[in-house]
Amino acid sequence: MRVKGEDGKTYLPHTLNNTVVAPPRMLIAFLENHLQADGTVTIPAVLQPYMGGAQVLVPKKK
């Protein structure tokens, strides 16, 4: 998304509180693509730096 400012230049808009994206939908799409049969979730390489280097999320057993 791009916005044209008053000066005529094109800018990337800033959002507040995820107003442009729907976090639940993003989470559902992420899980649909990365949830494994054993309940673990693989983390794509591009997101691993933001997850402390983790490659897989493992659910806690109750």
Pick the residue with more confidence: 61 or 8? 8
pLDDT digits (tens, 9 = 90+) for 43-58: 999 999 999 999 999 9
Rounded to whole angstroms, the Cα distance separating 15 from 20 reads 7
Q: Are 4 and 10 in contact (CB under 8 A)?
A: yes
Q: Are 55 and 48 in contact (CB under 8 A)?
A: yes
N-term to C-term CA, the chain: 43
The per-residue pLDDT for 52 is: 94
Ramachandran category for residue 5: left, alpha or beta (phi over 0 → left; psi -120 to 50 → alpha): beta
Rounded to whole angstroms, the Cα distance separating 23 from 30 reads 10
Global confidence as pTM: 0.61
pLDDT digits (tens, 9 = 90+) for 3-40: 898 999 998 887 777 666 777 888 899 999 999 999 99
